[in-house]
Amino acid sequence: MIAPRSLVLVCALVLAALSFFEFPGHTFLQSDTQIYMPILEHLRDSSVLANDLVAEYPHVSFTIYDEVLFALHFVTRFSFEHLLLAQEFLYRAVGILGIYLLGTGLGLSGRYAMLLAAILSLGATVNGPAVLTVEYEPVPRGFALPFVLLALGLIARHRWDAAAIAAGIGFLFHPPTALAFIGIYLAVSLWTRRVDVDVLLVAAGAVMFAFVIAQRAFVHTEDIFATLTPWLEAVQRLRASYNWVETWISQWAWHYIAVTAVGAVACWRCWERIPQGMRVFLMGLPVIGILSIPVSYLFLSKMKLAVMPQLQPGRYLLFVTFMAVLFAAIAAIHAAARARYLETFLFFTFCFLVPMEPNVLTESLAHYAVAAALAGLTTGACYLGTTSWSKPALTIACIAPFFVIPDVGHVRNFAQVHSPDLDALAGWARTSTEPGAMFQFADVGQRLEPGIFRTRSLRAIYADWKGGGQVNYLKEFAEVWWPRWQQVRKTQPFETYGKLKIDYVVYLSAHRLAKLKPVYQNQSYVVYATGARMIP
């Protein structure tokens, strides 16, 4: 029985709220938003961060991420941060709705389809290529994947035209994320002679082209047929090793073999219940994920094609993990319907194990115990079947993992970097220094504080580790960032910063300079102007 549409939407929003506020959670300015936010601020006002290296090299021309944000800001006047977080929440609900539609399209009842959505909303870390099935930050990749999931669900419900629109939106937000699905979609539609729906995807490509033309003044072009120079390869291997499969495959190979094996067994157990039209999508995506490893190795590690770090094909490995959990959850539900509760329990244990640690073979005993307890709870809910206790039991089974995994399993997906002292430092810089001032954090190494400071203060940073992530996209950026980073990656004699035309140097308070007078200080940070006077 399919639940009423209004109830489905409410449940999707509730699960999105649990996913957003409880587990896996959300962050801001702790990952790639440290790069996107300076770019967006500079695109909005070219005088802001005018001499900041990260802001000077935008790479948002091939996405509607910025256009949608600017349009929403124009209409609402809300801050970029609030608008991005609101979109992240909304698109998580879109993805949950897609999984629900997929579940019902595969023959699950409404309540079990929502259980499926709840399990997959717990997310998973895909180590090696460094990607997430549920992104913690409001970034283009995290916006695109939910629309791909919605497209999958719509196809399962035989809504090919709506699926093409959803996939097109995903493509516009982040082309690499949607390309695997779109490739399968185009192949199937041509094979089944549904060529009319392909027009919608062509339209998405035309919209993308129009936006690229409109932003041509901001586009930094790279030759897609170029090969990486030895120097640029060395920089990328150091700063973005996740693109180079040989740097991580030996560490994670057995994990992905185990995940693939479980997914294959689960798929086999529920294969007959998967409609013929959905098999190519549900099998095609993880197959593409597996093939992405040799493809990445061949075209990047061997052929050195410069476009590959931008496409990052290795990140399609996320579909291996995602589909393994999807198949395991479906197989568990079908096993319960046949009263095979041990099988149900084992498949559910795998489903809850994946969100807790990036390697299912090296989980702590505590995490195995938590996963088993959640699997037992969910198996018990399935055992109640159609009794009067079924609905409340399944509701508890849907909600409990969002609290049990972080509170009992002590799983923390990200460290807390923001602090009142860092915000106070940024506030002082924003109000008490000139807009063109250049800052440098002297002693934080590869930590994230500089990127948070850059966005909160709207003041330039000479060089920071996180900002160097753009070496994937732009050779010009790498040619400037790498020498700068080599100059300041370790604490330098104070006079060196002045020679580099840095105006203010930030130290941790434990490393204050005894003979210089600070221009600002709080419990955590001390700031010196490079023209600081010696203390008598």
Q: Provide CB contacts within 8 A for 168, sequence distance 6+.
A: 200, 201, 203, 204, 207
The amino acid sitting at 24 is P
Q: Any idea what DSSP says for residue 532?
A: P
Nearest partner of 455 among 102, 52, 127, 2, judged by Cα? 52
Q: Any idea what DSSP says for residue 299?
A: I
* Domain assignment of residue 536, yes or no: no
Whether omega for the bond prior to residue 24 falls within 30 degrees of 0, making it cis, is yes
Q: Which of 385, 407, 429 is where one domain is finished?
A: 407
Judgement on whether residues 104 and 54 belong to the same structural domain of the protein: yes
- Give 23's Cβ-side CA count (13 Å radius): 25
Judgement on whether residues 204 and 336 belong to the same structural domain of the protein: yes
Nearest partner of 317 among 358, 368, 350, judged by Cα? 358
Judgement on whether residues 104 and 227 belong to the same structural domain of the protein: yes
The amino acid sitting at 468 is G
* Domain assignment of residue 79, yes or no: yes
Could you tell me the two tokens for 509? Answer: 């308070």
Q: Any idea what DSSP says for residue 314?
A: G
Judgement on whether residues 139 and 185 belong to the same structural domain of the protein: yes
In the three-class reduction of DSSP (H, G, I as helix; E, B as strand; rest coil), residue 529 is classed as strand
> How many Å apart are CA 195 and CA 187, to the nearest integer?
10
> How many Å apart are CA 105 and CA 304, to the nearest integer?
42
* Domain assignment of residue 143, yes or no: yes
CB atoms < 10 A from the CB of 90, how many?
14
Judgement on whether residues 375 and 502 belong to the same structural domain of the protein: no
Judgement on whether residues 364 and 294 belong to the same structural domain of the protein: yes
State CA 76 to chain mean position distance.
26
Mean pLDDT by 10 residues, the chain (536 residues): 81 98 96 96 94 90 90 97 98 98 96 97 95 96 98 96 93 94 91 77 77 60 78 94 94 96 97 93 97 96 92 94 98 96 98 92 91 97 85 95 96 90 98 96 97 98 96 90 97 95 97 93 97 57
Judgement on whether residues 130 and 188 belong to the same structural domain of the protein: yes
* Domain assignment of residue 190, yes or no: yes
H or E element in which residue 439 lies: strand 438-441
Q: Which residue has the tokens 């879109």?
A: 94
Sheet holding 438-441, edge to edge: 460-461, 438-441, 504-508, 525-529, 520-521
Nearest partner of 256 among 232, 286, 226, judged by Cα? 286
Q: Which of 380, 407, 434 is where one domain is finished?
A: 407
Judgement on whether residues 441 and 293 belong to the same structural domain of the protein: no
* Domain assignment of residue 414, yes or no: no
Judgement on whether residues 22 and 65 belong to the same structural domain of the protein: yes
Q: Which residue has the tokens 């290296």?
A: 53
Burial of residue 298 (CB within 10 Å: 0-12, 13-18, 19+) is middle
* Domain assignment of residue 413, yes or no: no
Domain of 351, in residue numbers = 5-407
> How many Å apart are CA 306 and CA 473, to the nearest integer?
9
Backbone angles phi, psi at 520, to 5 degrees: -160, 145
Nearest partner of 68 among 142, 16, 143, judged by Cα? 143
* Domain assignment of residue 534, yes or no: no
> How many Å apart are CA 72 and CA 66, to the nearest integer?
10
Backbone angles phi, psi at 227, to 5 degrees: -110, 155
Nearest partner of 63 among 45, 86, 40, judged by Cα? 40
Q: Provide CB contacts within 8 A for 405, sequence distance 6+.
A: 23, 122, 352, 355, 356, 370, 374, 411
User: Which pLDDT score, from 0 to 100, does residue 535 have?
Assistant: 55
Alpha-carbon torsion 426, 431, 436, 438, what sign? negative
Judgement on whether residues 67 and 197 belong to the same structural domain of the protein: yes
**Based on the structure, what is the number of domains in the chain?**
2
The amino acid sitting at 179 is L
